[in-house]
Structure 1
């Protein structure tokens, strides 16, 4: 039997424990943030834009919104 660590996908996003760990890491590194702590949604910071681009992530695929 081979043991694997799951990377769950739900409605085109990473879910489960991996998704939660990624969220926490991105917040700690300052790659994503909230305008205020009560907000439900995060935004990609300037540092995050640089770092995600280094990973080869095409952020132009994410539509910009006013905050």
Structure 2
């Protein structure tokens, strides 16, 4: 690794998820693109839409590793 001092943008992990500003931006972007959604605006949790399943797969993300839940 280069020992030269450079400013890097963090990609923070919090337990098993991406946290920090990057996590926030990803969530907002995926919601704007309708890749994830909530059943109602007051719901706490998002779900992956059919469009999201297709688009995440195109990105090479294996969403079969995500366990289905009743939300």
Q: What is the alpha-carbon root mean square deviation over aligned residues?
A: 0.9
2: CA distance between counterparts of 1:44 and 1:51?
Answer: 10
In the superposition, the TM-score normalised over structure 2's length comes to: 0.90
In the superposition, the TM-score normalised over structure 1's length comes to: 0.95
Across the two proteins, how many residue pairs are aligned to each other? 67
Which has the higher Rg, Structure 1 or Structure 2?
2
Which stretches in structure 2 are left out of the alignment for 5+ residues? none
Equivalence for 2:18: 14
Which stretches in structure 1 are left out of the alignment for 5+ residues? none
